[in-house]
A and B are shown apart, each in its own frame.
Chain A
Amino acid sequence: MGAVELLQFALAGLKNGAIYALVALGFTLVYAATGAINFAQGEFYMLGGMLSVWAYAGLGLPLPLAGLVGVAMTALVGGVFELLAVRPRKDGDLLAIIIITVGGSMVLSSAARHLFGPLEKALPAFTSTGTVSIFGAVLEIQSLWILGLTTLAVVALWYLYNRTSLGRAMRACAVNRDAARLVGIDPRRIVTVSFMLAAALGALAGLAVTPLTQTAFDVGPSVGIKGFAAAILGGLGNPIAAVAGGIVLGMLESMSIAFISSTYKDAIALVVLLGVLFWRPQGIFGASRREKV
């Protein structure tokens, strides 16, 4: 195997990894705010693509505006979902919230199927369908957009967490909900905002990928599982770890195809995931957390 091929496998892994990373970021945000896993995260990815297609093809908006509408509407759906379905469960019972999100994901995909039909839909590439050559390996220009948007999302999240009062409030809630309440932060508001941000991030991924793969009402669950695995692999609750987890998972899959077999790529990735969790239950990059008795 030549160096060019190896680079090509690495680029493919990086591209898939960036997609998983954006979805994983959504899992991490909701986990930080509620301690629960939001299994509707994959549906936000689906809605981002579907609503953008609707705004572009249905309303005839120019692509950048249509994308913005798609992401904003998905964020809104995320907020409404939290207010209507998650918030009424006042005791914050984790199992109940997880099951609520599973149900929510079914409602969202059924609704999308009825509103937009069962067929896959396409979007044009953001700027060009061309490719760039990197030392002989090629990458679609749309993939550069995916990598760029993922980087932008990480920088924006870093800024939010470290430089704004909302971000500090979110971090405070993640560390200790009751203490945060004592200093005047409303944890319920933080949870709603987290769901909206998670929805927007998922939607951004769905929007960026649609020009490459098309989208349909049923694309959510498989991407959701990959994003969840990436978040666990990196370490839940930490945005940088989620991104790293996504990239590691994408690379693992690509290298499995390169050196072992494409038939078992998902199985290999899952075996590695299990192995890592035996070794470090908190994820590769997650801070170890010891509960005091």
Chain B
Amino acid sequence: MAGARTYFALLVALLVAIAIVPVSGCALETGPGDDGTTENGAATGEPYRIGAVLSLSGTLAGLGEPERNTLLMEVERINEAGGVHGRPIEVLIEDDASDAENAVAVTSRLVERENVIALIGATGTGGTMAMRQEIDRAGLVQVSVAGGTVITADFHPYVFQTPWSNSIVVPFTLSYLEDQGIDRIALIADSGGFAKDGVEVIKQFIDDFDIEIVIEESFNPGDADMTSQLTKIRATDAEAVVMWNAGAEAATVAKNMAALNFDIPLFGSHGNARVEFIEGAGEAAEGFRFAAGKVLVPEAYGVGTPEYEVATDFIARYTDRFGKAPDTFAGHAYDALHLIVEAMERLSEEFTSEELRDEIEATSGFVGIGGTFTFSPTDHNGMTEDNLGMYEIRNGEWTLAD
């Protein structure tokens, strides 16, 4: 018998659901309203609509949030400065809840119902790859903000990628290790997509270097302790531990190593370029080294260079608006949006999808946050090892490693 209290409980559940859904599931629209009235100097007229598929909830939410913040901030700035060809840009952001199936569904909606001219996303590599069927069907440009090597290695003429992929970070890291005189490494990685990709790329490049992998250990996202894996590593003659992981477990590995009194150094990847890693690992983070884009310490570009100016300007504006410094993921979203917008500016007011694709591919020397992009008909990642720096954490801060 369904009593009044059952209905009361259902009502409560419904109210909770209503309170949660609007924040996570619906499109957030920006730009001027339908009437096109804006302040002086701002763009008016029919907006260019760009779709963005980001992970605002689920496991990748920590990446999706800065990406969304950046898109909202940059679109506002572009429109205030007159838009593109005098018309405003409108970014339609959809949440894929860190799920590849959802990424396909929301992409389909953006393509069919919103008539977007290009797509940014997805936040994750899985979502990005899943979107490909829709990209194919609609013949639209996709600029992904996910880091998986597969995105551009499995080449598609309409797909571009802004983060540094493992295929440039891995050789950079290995050559640094070789320069440090390290011959034998222990590998520890989680079973997630980013880490698996990294391990594959490491194995693919390892023969080019005078380095040997003496042991390979893994753990699962969410594991609370890696002492057992590290105890095995400690029993080998490895000269350094190389970790590939982009989650909170990285801090646990660093702390477990400190507790076990390791006397060999720990190296990470661009997945660890997060303030949360330093906060989580505390003292155990000291001396941790990893490769990432030069933007973490913009001085690496050289003060006064165009790269330095773009990076410091963005960092200042983002920090001013959101109360904290942008992370690398914010930078990837900045690059994705501006790569599309720059190409649109070089075209005339009306253009086809194919023309937009060709123009993005013709991008040469675009100074973004992640580095300087030069695409070619075979390279849709556009970055080189020159855009990377090796960092060391000292006194809780990122500094350039020696």
Residue positions of A touching B, CB distance < 8 A: 1-2, 5, 8-9, 11-13, 15-16, 19, 84-85, 87-91, 103, 107, 110-111, 113-114, 117-120, 122, 129, 131, 138-140, 209, 212-214, 216-219, 221-223, 253-254, 257-258, 262-263, 266
Which of B13, B61, B224, B228 has a CB less than 8 Å from the CB of A113? Answer: B61
Q: Are A16 and B225 also in contact (CB < 8 A) when A122-B280, A138-B259, A138-B261 are? A: yes
A111-B20 in contact (CB<8A): yes
CA distance A41 to B9 in the complex (A): 20
Chain B's closest residue to A220 (CB) is B222
B9-A88 in contact (CB<8A): yes
Which of B9, B219, B280 has a CB less than 8 Å from the CB of A120? Answer: B280
Specify which of B13, B20, B219, B259 lies most central, judged by the most chain A CB atoms within 10 Å of its CB.
Answer: B259
Which residues of B, 1-19, contact A by the 8 Å Cβ criterion? 1, 3, 5-6, 8-9, 12-13, 16-17
Q: Return A140 CB to nearest CB of chain B, in Å.
A: 5
A sample of 11 cross-chain residue pairs with beta-carbon separation below 8 angstroms, ordered by A number, consists of A2-B235, A15-B225, A19-B224, A88-B3, A111-B16, A114-B20, A212-B255, A214-B279, A216-B248, A217-B61, A222-B221
Q: Return B238 CB to nearest CB of chain A, in Å.
A: 15
Q: Return B58 CB to nearest CB of chain A, in Å.
A: 8
Residue numbers in B under 8 Å from A263 (CB-CB): 191, 218
> 10 other contacts beyond A5-B231, A138-B259, with CB at 8 A cut-off?
A5-B235, A8-B227, A8-B260, A9-B228, A11-B227, A113-B57, A214-B248, A214-B252, A257-B229, A258-B232
CA distance A87 to B276 in the complex (A): 40
A129-B65 in contact (CB<8A): no
B62, CB-defined interface residue at 8 Å:
yes
Q: Are A107 and B217 also in contact (CB < 8 A) when A84-B9, A257-B228 are? A: no
CA distance A262 to B1 in the complex (A): 50
B282, CB-defined interface residue at 8 Å:
yes
Q: Return B326 CB to nearest CB of chain A, in Å.
A: 14
Chain B's closest residue to A120 (CB) is B248
List of 4 A-B pairs having minimum Cβ-Cβ separation, nearest first: A118-B61, A222-B222, A12-B227, A88-B5
Residue positions of B touching A, CB distance < 8 A: 1, 3, 5-6, 8-9, 12-13, 16-17, 20, 23-24, 57-59, 61-62, 64-65, 191, 217-225, 227-229, 231-232, 235, 248-249, 251-252, 255, 259-261, 276, 279-280, 282-283
CA distance A103 to B12 in the complex (A): 13
CA distance A218 to B260 in the complex (A): 28
Chain B's closest residue to A13 (CB) is B228
Chain B's closest residue to A124 (CB) is B282
Residue numbers in A under 8 Å from B224 (CB-CB): 16, 19, 209, 212-213, 223
Chain A's closest residue to B260 (CB) is A138
Residue numbers in A under 8 Å from B12 (CB-CB): 84-85
Residue numbers in B under 8 Å from A258 (CB-CB): 228, 231-232
Q: Return B375 CB to nearest CB of chain A, in Å.
A: 31
Chain B's closest residue to A131 (CB) is B259
CA distance A97 to B180 in the complex (A): 59
Residue numbers in A under 8 Å from B222 (CB-CB): 219, 221-223
CA distance A80 to B222 in the complex (A): 28
B282-A129 in contact (CB<8A): yes
A90-B228 in contact (CB<8A): no
B3-A90 in contact (CB<8A): yes
A107-B13 in contact (CB<8A): yes
A110-B57 in contact (CB<8A): yes
CA distance A92 to B117 in the complex (A): 54
CA distance A87 to B191 in the complex (A): 40
Q: Are A214 and B259 also in contact (CB < 8 A) when A113-B61, A262-B217 are? A: no
B231-A213 in contact (CB<8A): no
Q: Return A267 CB to nearest CB of chain B, in Å.
A: 11
Chain A's closest residue to B8 (CB) is A88
CA distance A262 to B62 in the complex (A): 27
Chain B's closest residue to A205 (CB) is B224
Q: Return B261 CB to nearest CB of chain A, in Å.
A: 7
Residue numbers in A under 8 Å from B227 (CB-CB): 8, 11-12, 15
Which of B58, B219, B259, B276 has a CB less than 8 Å from the CB of A262? Answer: B219
Residue numbers in A under 8 Å from B59 (CB-CB): 218
Residue numbers in A under 8 Å from B223 (CB-CB): 222
Q: Return B236 CB to nearest CB of chain A, in Å.
A: 11
Q: Are A262 and B218 also in contact (CB < 8 A) when A9-B228, A103-B13 are? A: yes
A12-B225 in contact (CB<8A): yes
A118-B283 in contact (CB<8A): no
Q: Return B327 CB to nearest CB of chain A, in Å.
A: 10
Residue numbers in B under 8 Å from A85 (CB-CB): 9, 12-13
Residue numbers in A under 8 Å from B24 (CB-CB): 110
CA distance A129 to B280 in the complex (A): 12
A212-B276 in contact (CB<8A): no
Chain B's closest residue to A7 (CB) is B231
Q: Are A214 and B20 also in contact (CB < 8 A) when A12-B227, A12-B228, A138-B259 are? A: no
B6-A89 in contact (CB<8A): yes
Chain B's closest residue to A264 (CB) is B218
Q: Return A87 CB to nearest CB of chain B, in Å.
A: 8
Q: Are A213 and B248 also in contact (CB < 8 A) when A1-B235, A122-B280, A254-B228 are? A: yes
A266-B248 in contact (CB<8A): no
B231-A214 in contact (CB<8A): no
CA distance A221 to B221 in the complex (A): 11
Residue numbers in A under 8 Å from B231 (CB-CB): 5, 8-9, 12, 258
Residue numbers in B under 8 Å from A129 (CB-CB): 282-283
Q: Return B393 CB to nearest CB of chain A, in Å.
A: 15
Q: Are A119 and B62 also in contact (CB < 8 A) when A85-B13, A263-B218 are? A: yes
Chain A's closest residue to B17 (CB) is A107
Chain B's closest residue to A16 (CB) is B225
A212-B228 in contact (CB<8A): no
Residue numbers in A under 8 Å from B255 (CB-CB): 140, 212
Residue numbers in A under 8 Å from B3 (CB-CB): 88, 90
CA distance A209 to B259 in the complex (A): 15
Q: Return A80 CB to nearest CB of chain B, in Å.
A: 10
CA distance A30 to B42 in the complex (A): 61
B225-A214 in contact (CB<8A): no
